[in-house]
Structure 1
Amino acid sequence: MADIAPVTPAEKGRLRSVLAMLWADKPAFVAAIFLCVVLVCALIGPALLDAVATKQNLRGRNAPPFDLSKGWLLILGGDALGRPLLARIIVAAQNTIAIAAGAVVASMIVGSALGLVAGYSRGRWAQIIPRLADVIMSFPSLLLAVIVLYMLEPSAANIILVLAITRIPVYLRTTRAEVLEVRERMFVQAARVMGASDARIVFRHILPVVLPTLLTIATLDFAFVMLAESSLSFLGIGIQAPEVTWGLMVAQGRPYLTSAWWLSFWPGLAIILTTLSLNLLSNWLRVALDPQQRWRLEMGGRKNG
């Protein structure tokens, strides 16, 4: 059995510094805690509550919220088939987060790779790749997703593929713009003079400079993709029953808005809070990863400490 490497004092100090900067921004700290709760629900929620979330109970049909006489799982009410909304929201977190994460990671990898080539190259690829981004952006992203999913089976894999394609230009253009500026800096020129290969210059010297910006955009883009998936599910071309996402739960509660508003309200609130938390955390990342602005968080962390 391999020995687990102990945490070094430098790593402990780095982690303590990050936590201090996060604590200095109270809204971002609360957002990070909420996102951790959502992530835990997405990871272990289906294993614990999948049977409860799918079990029908017609006696609890459209049960109102905050009525603990029928059990704590019905604290948020029941849906049209008597299934507890709390359990279904926790189980639906896995599909919602998995689809958004898959689309963001795929689009960031592909878009960033193309952006690195387009920004560093001085040949034909520098002209061809940006035109690819223009072609994708010429179609409204949501309309393109609707058309493709109408022709294909609305499965999780197809949804991830479509949403990833629509988000590639965001990372491609951002990476290309960053690389065009970074490649003219002195440290890149020095590496080129010393005989470093193009691949080493791109991945060792340029990518670490561009990566913080990409991570900030990815955090913000995660919220956009999650809203796009919810919109597709609401339109009926996203995830199909018996699978469940927050957007699909909102769509399923639409016929009962006047008599059982909670069917759409609670999953909609989960979408809003998660999106808001991602935006707050993205703003914190933008400051924390910028050496010229990080001192504000570091000063705040020292005062609180």
Structure 2
Amino acid sequence: MTETLKSAGEPPKGRLTTFLKLLWADKFAFFAAVFLLIVVLCAVFGPLLLETLATKQNLRGRNAAPFDLEAGWAMILGADALGRPLLPRIVVAAQNTIFVAAGAVFFSMLIGTALGLIAGYSRGRAAQMIPRLGDVIMSFPSLLLAVIVLYILEPSVVNIVIVLAITRIPIYLRTARAEVLEVRERMFVQAAKVMGASDRRIVFRHILPVVLPTLLTIATLDFAFVMLAESSLSFLGIGIQAPDITWGLMVSQGRPYLTNAWWLSFWPGLAIILTTLSLNLLSNWMRIALDPTQRWRLEMGGRKNG
């Protein structure tokens, strides 16, 4: 209890230092976080700096092989079937890939958590009807549902975000509901009721902070899943369409050239693999760092390293 109060009273600088120490204690998670930071920077600034270079065609350099230092830094990973350099295209494609995954995870987490809080805390009809809604959505395979909807609608970025967000809502709904059902019986919640706190204050001030770390851990894992789902849809040809680009679309465009130009699909595929791997490593670290009963492992590791 004393440690919790000390942590709550720490200034922002002290919290940041503690966070970095815990992250440094797990080297895999640290380097995963650095890689994800680079990906986010590419997604934010890549199109502003490299969009012209990424779309510039050079038919004389069609399917140029990688590691040709004489061709310049932009051609270090080779070129595609229209002679466009792959490195700038991968950097620019990060924006759509991350935007789709972040948008789908954000909205599914927001809606699913809200419904889960209502279903878990309410004792009325909502507590029975909301879980059934999640069961209905989960009765359809998420990728199959996305394929059907995107086959009917125009495969745009907004439609892909909406479809993937809907398919992921039950994950957060079920998790939030299960957590709330357990937390609402704890002593501090009962004490808040006795003190006359409103239901809204109890849910958002006392219950949500306890449930949120679990949801954030799941969201980190779900981010990787949504990235793979978007890449699968683009690979099937019903995801984001040219001239927009994503890593999944780049893998799809390189499929006809796998026998004689493997690098067209390999580099964007490697970007997908490294990003999902980093998200999984960071999620595992978050699961430990956000759990007071497990955090001592990281603290002990940080002391040994120090």
Letter in 2 for 1:286: R
Distance 1:9 1:60 in 2: 57
Letter in 2 for 1:166: T
- Alpha carbons of 1:9 and 1:181: their partners in 2 closer, same or farther (altered >3 Å)? closer
Q: How many residues align?
A: 298
Q: Residue 88 of structure 1 aligns to a residue in which SS? A: helix
Instruction: Name the TM-score, length of structure 1 as normaliser.
Output: 0.97
Q: Deviations over 1:136-170 (max 9, x none)?
A: 00000000000000110100000000000000000
Letter in 1 for 2:11: A
Letter in 2 for 1:56: Q
2:192 corresponds to which residue?
191
Which segment drifts farther, 10-19 or 55-64? 10-19
1:5 corresponds to which residue?
none
1:18 is the counterpart of 2:19: yes
Quote the offset at 1:303 in angstroms: 2.0
Letter in 2 for 1:68: L
1:69 is the counterpart of 2:74: no
Distance 1:274 1:60 in 2: 29
2:179 corresponds to which residue?
178
Distance 2:116 2:160 in 1: 24
Letter in 2 for 1:29: F
Distance 2:69 2:89 in 1: 17
1:54 corresponds to which residue?
55
1:111 is the counterpart of 2:112: yes
2:131 corresponds to which residue?
130
Letter in 1 for 2:242: A
Distance 2:226 2:82 in 1: 29
2:95 corresponds to which residue?
94
Note the 1:3-14 alignment, pairs <5 A.
Answer: 10-14=11-15
1:4 corresponds to which residue?
none
Instruction: Name the TM-score, length of structure 2 as normaliser.
Output: 0.96
Q: Residue 81 of structure 1 aligns to a residue in which SS? A: coil
Distance 2:11 2:27 in 1: 25
Quote the offset at 1:300 in angstroms: 1.2
2:153 corresponds to which residue?
152
1:287 corresponds to which residue?
288
Quote the offset at 1:69 in angstroms: 1.4
Letter in 2 for 1:244: I
1:272 corresponds to which residue?
273
1:143 corresponds to which residue?
144
Distance 2:185 2:136 in 1: 28
Quote the offset at 1:41 in angstroms: 0.5
Distance 1:13 1:174 in 2: 31
Could you list the runs of 5+ residues in structure 1 that have no partner in the other structure?
A: 1-7
Q: Contact 1:213–1:286 (CA<8 Å) still a contact in 2? A: yes
**Hey, which bits of structure 1, 4+ residues long, moved more than 6 A?**
none
Quote the offset at 1:72 in angstroms: 1.1
Q: Contact 1:20–1:302 (CA<8 Å) still a contact in 2? A: no
Q: Residue 129 of structure 1 aligns to a residue in which SS? A: helix
Letter in 2 for 1:282: S
Q: Residue 244 of structure 1 aligns to a residue in which SS? A: coil
Distance 1:72 1:117 in 2: 54
Distance 1:14 1:49 in 2: 36
Distance 1:93 1:166 in 2: 23
Distance 1:257 1:304 in 2: 45
